[in-house]
Amino acid sequence: MIKFRGIVWSVHPLFVIVMLLSAAAGRFAELITLFVLVFVHELGHVVAARSFGWVIREVKLLPFGGVAETEEAGGMPTREEAIVAIAGPMQNVWMAALAWGIGKFGIGDPAWANELVEANMLIALFNLIPIHPLDGGKLLQCLLGRLMPYHHAMAWTIRISITLSVLIGAAALVQQLWPGGGIQLNLLTIALFLLATNWMQRRHMPFLFIRFLMNRERYARKRMDRGASAAPIVVRPEAALHSVLKDFRRDAVHLVYVTTARGELLGILPENELLHGFFASANPNRPVVELII
């Protein structure tokens, strides 16, 4: 674990296992190459995030990339998160292009250059699979966040991630059914890791949603300064406060219209009043109409 410029850099236990297996097999060159590629990949995320003023607490390196923990989780625009997510694979693209040029013009060993191209493209393409916490999973949540409320986008991202993780694990196991085939242990290990990560993400959804709400109030002024779109929410008086908050969209500023079944307007609540009412109350299921009376 190393702390540099306020960011804690650490190696995930899964990467440690890969490194130990590589060392035991005497594949030191491949190990060092993988570490450098993953580090540069993750550095791309860090530089992009810092350019938007994000505060990054920790970066954990994985065999196929890394996971960055930020204070802005869910609080920043989907556009910024999408750029930060794609910044990692883009590092592998330019490194692959550089390696191809080295091999093409005879600057280095063509065989080594070709392996470097393949490694970079494998890391880039794998990271673009729409599974959390891969970059593709983050892009998927950004896309869903443009189409539906944040809570729904998060829930669907986890569902899709779990489904795809199971399919990858099944693909690793089915290899043994083919002549000369066998279980792909590396792929199976990664699939199990992704499945476990998303299963934990599913269990932690209430906490993650609370963090989103806390960051939403914290960055409300920034959203308004960026010209976030206004999105009205129409609810009935008996609607639970917590359920109304689940309709909040990431890139919008909300006004909540409380109406009767006949369409009579009882009141209009800005989103910050709902947030204050939620965090100040011991009952998250209190009717939203209580904030008007």
Rounded Cα gap, residues 39 and 122, in angstroms? 15
pLDDT for 102 beyond 70? yes
pLDDT at 245: 94
**pLDDT level of residue 26 (50, 70, 90 thresholds):** low
Per residue in 199-217, pLDDT tens?
Answer: 999 999 999 999 899 888 7
pLDDT, tens digit, 9 for 90 and up, residues 145-180: 999 999 999 999 999 999 999 999 998 888 665 555
Give residue 176's pLDDT: 63
Q: Could you tell me the domains of the chain?
A: 1-128 (no CATH), 132-205 (no CATH), 219-291 (3.10.580.10)
pLDDT score of 21 more than 80: no
* pLDDT value at residue 163: 97
Model confidence at 74: pLDDT above 80:
no
Q: Residue 233 pLDDT more than 90?
A: yes
pLDDT at 25: 65
Residue-averaged pLDDT of the chain: 85
pTM of the model: 0.88
Higher pLDDT, 220 or 32: 32
Mean pLDDT, to the nearest integer, of 96-118? Answer: 86
Contact call for residues 288 and 263 (beta carbons, < 8 A): no
Residue 239 has pLDDT above 60, yes or no: yes
- The arithmetic mean of pLDDT across residues 111-137, rounded, is 92
